A and B are shown apart, each in its own frame.
Chain A
Amino acid sequence: MRSLYELPAFVVSRKIQDQEISAEEYISIIIERIKEVDSKVNSFTSLNFEGALTMSRAIDKKIKEGINTGLLTGIPVGIKDNISVQGLKNTCASRMLSEYVSPYDATVVSKIKEQGGIIIGKLNMDEFGMGTTSEYSSFGPVRNPWDLEYVAGGSSGGSAASVASLQIPLSLGSDTGGSIRCPSSFCSVIGIKPTYGSVSRSGLISYSNSLEQIGPIARTIYDLVPILNVISGEDPKDNTTVHKKYDYQLNTIDNLLTKKYKVGVLNEFIDDSEIEVARTSQKKVKQLEDYGCELEDTRIPLADYALASYYVIATAEASSNLSRYDNLRYGYEGSPEGYEWNSYFSESRSKFGDEVKLRILLGSYVLSAGYFGKYYAKAQTIRSMIKREFDILFNKYDILLLPTMPVLPFKLGEKISQPIEQYNLDVYTILANLAGLTAISIPAGLSEKGFPIGVQLIANAFDEQKLIDAAVILERAEGFEKWIPRI
């Protein structure tokens, strides 16, 4: 018999609600599992075992009293360390915030708690979300559960690796340019970047506000949908959220066979990828066809400009967002006493890691006098144009298909300190962020050497349902639940 930690969250939650097992028992098993595994993976930055046990007991009590405990009853959820949880450290994997404890819950965290979810700990990441490998962390790199010498992908590496290594069934990540999808692909889990404006960013420590969204990561679409429903929705604390009904369904295969989605295949991206990635993507095309989808080749002409556009906007916003870290009101140990303010600020801020410093400098440069038009304004124009191209594509197609990453996971340290090489890995994922669309990375298979490969589907804004439907099909077609790393 499989251990409880191997089971999908929705299955366990049902058992807890039916009082087959208690939430406390389940959390205890999860805690043991984390203790056993995470020393190898390094996916957590801080743990909330005591708090989690207390919450689990409260849930058990409610269940006994017959009180409705919600969609996520008893399910441990890991939270990326850039999403605020009241009373827990919120470091963003940065030395700048090594002592910062959040006094409030992010909206998504409150919602998870309201629905009976249990915050089990905070997850490792690239500092402030800036990276594609989860190596730029003050806690050390996240290791890929499939091979501990390999990168887990980033920046939400901890969120993907913890779920992939069967430590927890669900986690939250954030996706600014692929930060949920990239590690999901590298670790073989399913991760979605919701439409911009559908999930509140209140409590998410901003890296690039106009690009990023919080999203969930799971091992199966059946676990992903409930938590996506929980966290989506307009929030009075975030003026960029959109008022809409968010009620995603898990449709049956019979139902889906009648939908006959039109899928545009972005062949240029497939061809430009490593051969095993390309081959796997084609296999997915075939599977969708088998389930009644209509597939057609297509392209995004302006994609060549996307990378520059994306990094100009992201670094510009980041340089401003990260200004507030001056170690006066909160941060890390140290006092401004005796300092002149300029030198105090400069010295305090030297605690940022090198990649963060690089992006702050770049962002400061592109916004500085005389360069706004050359960089920022131009980047925004291209962004609008790319959005227009997508609009045209979505008049024709329901879904676009492309690889999540152009490459397979690589060795730790292989691309470290090589900004351009790393940035180039983001070309497939940044498109959805630039255009504010929703995109999902779905496990697609393993390479010959046993490394995960993900396929990415993009849908129009607020068309998450189409991605979910396609994920149900792909999960049915190949049953990716069986791809579990041995650790």
Chain B
Amino acid sequence: MISKMKTGQVLKIGLELHCQLTNLQTKLFCDCLSNYRNSSPNENTCPICLGLPGTLPLLNKKAVEFASMICMAFNCNIPEKISFYRKNYFYPDLPKNYQITQYNSYELSSIGYEGAIEFVGESKSKTDTSADDQERSKVRIARVQLEEDPGKITYEEDKSAVNNYSLIDYNRAGVSLVEIVTEPDFSSPLAVRTFLKEIVNLFEYLGVTDPSLEGSVRCDVNVSLGGGKKVEIKNISSFKEVEKSIYYEITRQKTLIMHDIDVKSETRHWDEKRKVTVAARSKEEEEEYRYFPEPDIPRIILGSKFVSRVRATLPELPIERLKRYTDVYKISDHTAKILINDKRISDFFEESLRYYKSPIEISNWIVNELLTKINEKDRQGISDHNVRGLDFLSVLPSQVAEVAKLVEEKSLNRNIARDIFDKSIESGTSPLKIIENLEIEKISDEASIIKIIQDILNSQPQLIEQSKNNPNVINYVLGLIMKETRGRVNPQIAMKLIKESLEAN
């Protein structure tokens, strides 16, 4: 599914994703905390992650397991033995001035290789009839590798030229990172966006990372036009920027081609403020990483049973969930996709089912009512980051289940149910409670209304006399009743009863 741009040049985009394994307790090679985000500068460090002389890396078992789970989700092959390599380059955020990573040029070293993943694709609106025939896109995965994150460099002043020095914090150094390299199988920035959204969701399903944490999932991009040289874009801070940077790069390359200037194979940085890519270094420099096998880490024997053992612990993946929703629950493909595309929504759905097992009804309430609400709030700019959240609404799965149950079992009118649901969402009260309150408040028994009328007539006996000449008295009395009861009585019934009462007196 290679699409041609308007100029007729084939566009090929590949991704290099970096996913921090934030759900680990410790770093990749030492027992410092994997969660570096709450520490003051350089507090979450030890001789190993600071690369002090004489320290040796001690590989985290669980990190290997988590990385292999990602491989499984991407349908990669997992070799029986894995090994680590040193990628040698100098940079002040790198405590050892080399990064321990994996590398497949001299042997099969990485935890995963040659995978492929279909992405479900964004569900279009219901009116879009093509939605069901929409083809699933397939992306090939070149490799998945486990490596360490570097530290972080900051400045006191925003403009780097003003600064006389930089400030380095090594708290992040050594945190487990999984790099996923795709083949250049994307043909549009939009496809990239859809894919990224889904991948983030997938990571969440796997339980290896919390994508809502800043910097936990990062992405580099490579773009080539018309079979030309590949340009890599690094330094992209968020997924929104990924799309923008690709658009920019396409335009830049097109302009070059138009002027008969060769596109150089290089790495460019995305300048978020100026919204341009800037040349960073040439490929030639990059080839000097002087990779060689890390002598301090033995080759790790995963063994023949490793894959089956980890696979058994693998949580249900979105694609499997989708199948279950459509096949077992008979939910429409459209609705099911919306549910699974956000793990938290899907989990919410699952939880609701525990209170009332009517998947179709519940799924409709979530997709048509709840998500509409959330999207409204979204548009008001309440939530941001890579993942939208339910957190800001104090909705419980039981609330949705109750509404669904009221409609299905007590044949509650849908419009009223919708009102009740809205009230429930806003107040956090359970729908059942709201219904109960409403029913108590509705004064429909005639005896109660007659009592109110009598009380009014007793306090204002002149009304009986006046009513004989003035038909407006009935309306006046009704007004008093409404005032008294704060409008809880049925006006038709009340009118009838007022008439009867006046006549009887």
Q: A: which residues have CB within 8 A of B?
A: 82-84, 90, 92, 97, 100, 102-104, 106, 201-206, 208-210, 236-240, 316-317, 319-320, 323-324, 326, 328-330, 335-338, 341-342, 345, 364, 367-369, 372, 376-377
Say if the beta carbon of B97 comes within 8 Å of chain A: yes
Pairwise interchain contact A372-B292, C-beta atoms closer than 8 A? yes
Contact of A324 among B51, B291, B298 (CB under 8 A): B51
Pairwise interchain contact A323-B88, C-beta atoms closer than 8 A? yes
What DSSP secondary structure best describes chain A's contact surface? loop
B 269-324 contacts with A by CB, 8 A: 287-288, 290-292, 295-298
Q: A90-B54, A323-B98 are in contact. List 20 more A-B contacts (CB 8 A).
A: A82-B54, A92-B53, A102-B53, A202-B54, A205-B53, A205-B54, A208-B295, A209-B295, A237-B58, A238-B296, A239-B296, A240-B295, A320-B292, A323-B90, A326-B90, A326-B97, A329-B50, A330-B52, A341-B166, A376-B292
Contact of B296 among A205, A209, A236, A336 (CB under 8 A): A209
Pairwise interchain contact A84-B53, C-beta atoms closer than 8 A? yes
Q: List 7 A-B contacts (CB under 8 A).
A: A90-B54, A92-B53, A208-B295, A239-B58, A240-B56, A324-B51, A324-B95
Residues of A near B164 (CB, < 8 A) are: 337-338
B56, B91, B97, B98: residue with the most chain A Cβ atoms closer than 10 Å = B56
Pairwise interchain contact A90-B53, C-beta atoms closer than 8 A? yes
With the chains together, A239 CA to B296 CA distance in Å?
7
As a 0/1 sequence over residues 418 to 456 of chain B, the CB contacts with chain A under 8 angstroms (1 = contact) are 000000000000000000000000000000000000000
B 156-183 contacts with A by CB, 8 A: 164-166, 168, 170
Residues of A near B288 (CB, < 8 A) are: 368-369
With the chains together, A482 CA to B188 CA distance in Å?
83
B 67-101 contacts with A by CB, 8 A: 86, 88, 90-92, 95-98
Pairwise interchain contact A201-B56, C-beta atoms closer than 8 A? yes
Say if the beta carbon of B392 comes within 8 Å of chain A: no
With the chains together, A92 CA to B288 CA distance in Å?
28
Considering only CB atoms, which chain B residue lies closest to A339 in the complex?
A: B165
With the chains together, A356 CA to B292 CA distance in Å?
20
Residues of B near A369 (CB, < 8 A) are: 287-288
Considering only CB atoms, which chain B residue lies closest to A210 in the complex?
A: B295
Pairwise interchain contact B47-A104, C-beta atoms closer than 8 A? yes
Given known pairs A210-B295, A320-B86, the reply for A103 and B47 (CB within 8 Å) is: yes
A104, A324, A341: residue with the most chain B Cβ atoms closer than 10 Å = A324
Pairwise interchain contact A240-B54, C-beta atoms closer than 8 A? no
Considering only CB atoms, which chain A residue lies closest to B88 in the complex?
A: A320
With the chains together, A187 CA to B311 CA distance in Å?
60
The minimal Cβ–Cβ distance linking B31 to chain A, given in whole angstroms, is 11
Given known pairs A102-B53, A240-B296, A369-B287, the reply for A323 and B165 (CB within 8 Å) is: no
Say if the beta carbon of B55 comes within 8 Å of chain A: yes
Considering only CB atoms, which chain B residue lies closest to A208 in the complex?
A: B295
The minimal Cβ–Cβ distance linking A283 to chain B, given in whole angstroms, is 39
Contact of B106 among A82, A316, A377 (CB under 8 A): A377
With the chains together, A330 CA to B292 CA distance in Å?
26
Interface size on B, residues (CB 8 A): 35
Residues of A near B371 (CB, < 8 A) are: none
Pairwise interchain contact A368-B56, C-beta atoms closer than 8 A? no
Considering only CB atoms, which chain A residue lies closest to B153 in the complex?
A: A341
The minimal Cβ–Cβ distance linking B86 to chain A, given in whole angstroms, is 5
Pairwise interchain contact A324-B96, C-beta atoms closer than 8 A? yes
Given known pairs A323-B97, A324-B51, A368-B288, the reply for A345 and B56 (CB within 8 Å) is: no
Pairwise interchain contact B54-A204, C-beta atoms closer than 8 A? yes
The minimal Cβ–Cβ distance linking A365 to chain B, given in whole angstroms, is 9
Given known pairs A319-B290, A320-B292, A338-B164, the reply for A367 and B58 (CB within 8 Å) is: no
Pairwise interchain contact B298-A367, C-beta atoms closer than 8 A? no
Say if the beta carbon of B263 comes within 8 Å of chain A: no
Pairwise interchain contact B106-A372, C-beta atoms closer than 8 A? yes
Residues of A near B88 (CB, < 8 A) are: 319-320, 323, 367
Pairwise interchain contact B168-A328, C-beta atoms closer than 8 A? yes
Contact of B165 among A203, A204, A337 (CB under 8 A): A337
Pairwise interchain contact B90-A239, C-beta atoms closer than 8 A? no
The minimal Cβ–Cβ distance linking B300 to chain A, given in whole angstroms, is 9
Contact of A239 among B106, B168, B298 (CB under 8 A): B298
Residues of A near B59 (CB, < 8 A) are: 239
B 310-357 contacts with A by CB, 8 A: none
With the chains together, A336 CA to B96 CA distance in Å?
17
Pairwise interchain contact B53-A240, C-beta atoms closer than 8 A? no
Contact of A328 among B52, B53, B58, B92 (CB under 8 A): B92
Residues of A near B91 (CB, < 8 A) are: 341
Given known pairs A323-B96, A326-B90, A328-B92, the reply for A202 and B290 (CB within 8 Å) is: no
Residues of A near B55 (CB, < 8 A) are: 202-203
Residues of A near B106 (CB, < 8 A) are: 372, 377
With the chains together, A90 CA to B96 CA distance in Å?
17
Contact of A367 among B54, B290, B295 (CB under 8 A): B290
B 1-59 contacts with A by CB, 8 A: 47, 50-59
Residues of B near A209 (CB, < 8 A) are: 295-296
Pairwise interchain contact A239-B95, C-beta atoms closer than 8 A? no
Q: What are the nearest 6 A-B pairs in CB distance?
A: A323-B97, A367-B290, A209-B295, A210-B295, A205-B53, A369-B287
With the chains together, A238 CA to B58 CA distance in Å?
7
Considering only CB atoms, which chain A residue lies closest to B59 in the complex?
A: A239
Residues of B near A237 (CB, < 8 A) are: 56, 58
The minimal Cβ–Cβ distance linking A268 to chain B, given in whole angstroms, is 30
With the chains together, A342 CA to B297 CA distance in Å?
29
Considering only CB atoms, which chain A residue lies closest to B165 in the complex?
A: A337
Contact of A236 among B51, B58, B96 (CB under 8 A): B58
Pairwise interchain contact B295-A324, C-beta atoms closer than 8 A? no
Considering only CB atoms, which chain B residue lies closest to A317 in the complex?
A: B295
Residues of A near B95 (CB, < 8 A) are: 324, 329
Pairwise interchain contact B97-A324, C-beta atoms closer than 8 A? yes
Contact of A238 among B53, B56, B92 (CB under 8 A): B56
B86, B291, B292: residue with the most chain A Cβ atoms closer than 10 Å = B292
Given known pairs A240-B298, A319-B290, the reply for A345 and B90 (CB within 8 Å) is: yes
The minimal Cβ–Cβ distance linking B29 to chain A, given in whole angstroms, is 10
With the chains together, A240 CA to B83 CA distance in Å?
13
With the chains together, A445 CA to B497 CA distance in Å?
131
Residues of A near B290 (CB, < 8 A) are: 319-320, 364, 367-368
The minimal Cβ–Cβ distance linking A197 to chain B, given in whole angstroms, is 9
With the chains together, A103 CA to B56 CA distance in Å?
15
With the chains together, A103 CA to B50 CA distance in Å?
12
The minimal Cβ–Cβ distance linking A85 to chain B, given in whole angstroms, is 10
Residues of A near B168 (CB, < 8 A) are: 328
Pairwise interchain contact B52-A103, C-beta atoms closer than 8 A? yes
Given known pairs A324-B95, A372-B106, the reply for A84 and B54 (CB within 8 Å) is: yes
Considering only CB atoms, which chain B residue lies closest to A369 in the complex?
A: B287
Residues of A near B298 (CB, < 8 A) are: 239-240
Residues of A near B295 (CB, < 8 A) are: 208-210, 240, 317
Considering only CB atoms, which chain B residue lies closest to A105 in the complex?
A: B54
Residues of B near A368 (CB, < 8 A) are: 288, 290
With the chains together, A103 CA to B52 CA distance in Å?
9
Considering only CB atoms, which chain B residue lies closest to A197 in the complex?
A: B298
Residues of B near A104 (CB, < 8 A) are: 47, 52
With the chains together, A372 CA to B107 CA distance in Å?
13
With the chains together, A377 CA to B105 CA distance in Å?
12
The minimal Cβ–Cβ distance linking B323 to chain A, given in whole angstroms, is 42
Residues of B near A206 (CB, < 8 A) are: 53-54, 296
Contact of B54 among A203, A208, A323, A376 (CB under 8 A): A203
With the chains together, A238 CA to B53 CA distance in Å?
14
Residues of B near A84 (CB, < 8 A) are: 53-54
Considering only CB atoms, which chain B residue lies closest to A365 in the complex?
A: B290
With the chains together, A205 CA to B47 CA distance in Å?
12
